[in-house]
Amino acid sequence: MASLHFDLTLGVSGDNHFHIDMVYSTQSPSTINRELLAQTENFFVGHLSSQDEAQALGKVQVAFSGHEPDILRAKTPGYMRMLTQSHRFVIPVQARKFAAEG
């Protein structure tokens, strides 16, 4: 599943700006508007539904190009590939399961 963060700053007359943040999650990035996906800043990719979806992600975000086989092969829970606005290289990360303290 790919979790994606989109941050859009819209400038209006003067110094007024609107910051629009959106988080969306999908196994099929090809179903998301291509322009929206191209402006997405942060990607956390854990599982995609098919080779076509992995290739679609690689086409819209060139940093993922070449990582498609690894994305499709990995089955470890919590293992993701991360691409952020501040770090433009795909990095493997292991997310730990959240455990509420009680």
* Paired residues of 26 in beta bridges: 2
Block residue for tokens 């995609």: 48
- Distance between CA atoms of residues 13 and 36, nearest Å: 23
75 falls in which pLDDT band (50, 70, 90)?
confident
Q: Is 14 left (phi over 0), alpha (psi -120 to 50) or beta?
A: left
**Would you say residue 73 has pLDDT above 80?**
yes
CB 56 within 8 A of CB 22: no
What lies within 8 Å, CB to CB, of 33 at 6+ separation is: none
For the whole model, what pTM was predicted? 0.72
| 80-100 pLDDT per residue, tens | 898 888 888 999 999 887 777
Q: How much is the average pLDDT of 19-24?
A: 73
71 residue type, one letter: I
